[in-house]
Amino acid sequence: MKIKRIAIIGGGTSGWLAANHLGSSLSADEEIEITLIESPDVPTIGVGEGTVPYIMKGLKRFGISEAELLISCDATFKQGIKFVNWMDTTRHGENHYYHPFDEPYPAGFDVSAYWLAHESNRPFGDVGIQSRICELGLAPKRKSSGEYEGMLSYAYHFDAAKFANLLAKNAKQRFNINYLSATIEGANVDSDGNITHLITNDGGELAFDFYVDCSGFSSILIDKQLKVPIISKANELLTDSVLVQQVPLTGSEPLNPYTTATAHKAGWIWDIPLTTRRGTGFVYASKYMSDEEALELYAQYLGVEVSEISPRKIPMQVGYREKFWHKNCVALGLAQGFLEPIEATSILLSDFSAELLARNFPKHMSDIEKLAPYYNKVITYTWDRTVDFIKLHYCISDRTDSPFWQDNSNEQTLSDELKERLSRFEISPPNQSDFFSKFDMFDEKNFLYVLYGMNFHTNKSTISPQELKHCKQLFESNDALVNEAANQLLNHKDWLVGLKAAMQNIRR
């Protein structure tokens, strides 16, 4: 039987990402009809403001204009993350390092061995220029740069609700995605375990051939109907609670072209600049910190009294589904699983999974049994390695100021793969061959910045005179490039204000 009618349940970021991916892959087939169903009663999670450069791939494919994204979603550029106090402050004082998006060094050069032997008194970020561009508050693009092109790599911070609206408008207009406002209460399943109908809360039945569950933490199909369990990762990732507070702009604060992630004694705080407000969140582990203490420390960070804030608390169940594709149902987004938000991995995983589904979409029901095992294998691998990358930020820290940090470095809270990788990286720095799967979302480039941003110990090795000369030159030319870039690139805020003015002129 040909699959013709597809339902996407949920109109948050993952639902509309799925609608655009499936729409762009399948809309040329006139027999296929895609409908997105969204409950008028269940709000979207409303957070998820940081992204990584992978997002551009989809946006370009969907035909979304970058200028429209920037203006309509109050977006700013994100060139990476500034990690503050992830190291012991009694040993290092107030400390920070950057994990920027640019490649740490030109392909073919192993600058990390040189940095370890000769330059480790400088920040590892100096192997490139982007950390310093961030610190200078510059935009990653020139005024004349084309859409989705920058002098440096970048992603975005945006208002999550506005981003979902933009994706919705595009999916409806460009790919003829149908939209239905209805709350799904359950489903009927046939004797093979495939879903035949959705049941709405007013008793109606909606029949489709294939179902994509993007219903967020409700997980109305994958969990409530199909009972696919979550594999918990709470033993590895210890944070399980978040307080979220939007902060109005005063007008005098800088518009940082990066996310700030400030560690505290049982987790960390995100600070994301939008053009209209700041998005902040206090991530903590309830086993190690009470809600009251979290609120106090959060208020302290924001520079206000506890009585002046009323943050929303979001509990986090850390883990992912045992299967993401079961019978004729695939789960995406928060229905697929959730990891704490450091490094903005969730939209990335939704986007990647939706793209993989669109590229491997079954034409007939009989294709499902051939495609689903492969899909589940790939997505499980990406989740596992993403857990490792998040864990890396905690387990190599030398902070011991609380049981939270002490427990995080306990070997028993690391996966075997991460343990194995870290023991190799003590002998020599990570390189491409350590990340041989295409599905490692975070590879040697990301590991290098985090490992050496946090003073990870790798044995020094000897390097040839020729390599020494090249690397020395690279550091010198980077220093010169930073000065040049400072003359060529606009201040981040000025770039965005300039874009807004230019768009207003065009509309007049």
Binding site for ligand FAD (CB under 6 A): 9-15, 37-39, 42, 44-45, 47-51, 160, 183-184, 214-216, 218, 220, 242, 244, 281, 314, 333-335, 341, 344, 346-348, 350
Q: How far is the CB of 150 from ligand FAD (least distance, A)?
A: 20
Min. distance of Cβ 349 from ligand FAD in angstroms?
Answer: 8
CA distance 124 to 392: 17
Q: C-beta of 317: minimal distance to ligand FAD in Å?
A: 10
Please say which residue, 184 or 496, places its beta carbon nearer to ligand FAD: 184
C-alpha to C-alpha distance for 50 and 214, rounded to whole angstroms: 19
For the bound state, the minimum distance from the C-beta of residue 191 to ligand FAD, rounded and expressed in Å, comes to: 25
Q: What separation in angstroms does the CA of 97 have from each of 1, 32, 264, 361, 499? A: 55, 49, 15, 42, 30
Which of residues 16 and 405 has its CB atom nearest to ligand FAD in the complex?
16
For residue 374, which phi and psi values (nearest 5 degrees)?
A: -65, -45
- Please state the three-class secondary structure of 391-429 as a single string: HHHHHCCCCCCCHHHHHHCCHHHCCHHHHHHHHHHCCCC
Q: Which is nearer to ligand FAD, 55 or 422 (CB)?
A: 55
DSSP single-letter state for residue 498 = H
- Closest approach of ligand FAD to the CB of residue 177, in Å: 14
- C-alpha–C-alpha distance, residues 158 and 250, integer Å: 19
Q: Rounded CA gap, 19 and 15, in Å? A: 6
Q: How far is the CB of 218 from ligand FAD (least distance, A)?
A: 4
CB of 451 to ligand FAD, least distance (A): 22
The DSSP letter of residue 474 is H
Burial 226-248 (b: 16+ CB within 10 A, else e): bebebeebeebbbbbbbbbbbbe
Could you tell me the smallest distance in angstroms from the CB atom of residue 459 to ligand FAD? 36
Angle at 112 between CA 107 and CA 115, to 5 degrees: 130
Nearest to ligand FAD of 356, 489 (CB atom): 356
- Of 47 and 329, the one with the shorter C-beta distance to ligand FAD is 47
> Which residue's CB is nearer to ligand FAD, number 72 or number 346?
346
Q: Rank residues 51 and 85 by Cβ distance to ligand FAD and give the closer one.
A: 51
CB-neighbour burial class of residue 182 (10 A; exposed 0-12, middle 13-18, buried 19+): middle
Q: Which is nearer to ligand FAD, 271 or 388 (CB)?
A: 271
Backbone dihedral region of 350: left (phi > 0), alpha (psi from -120 to 50 degrees) or beta? alpha
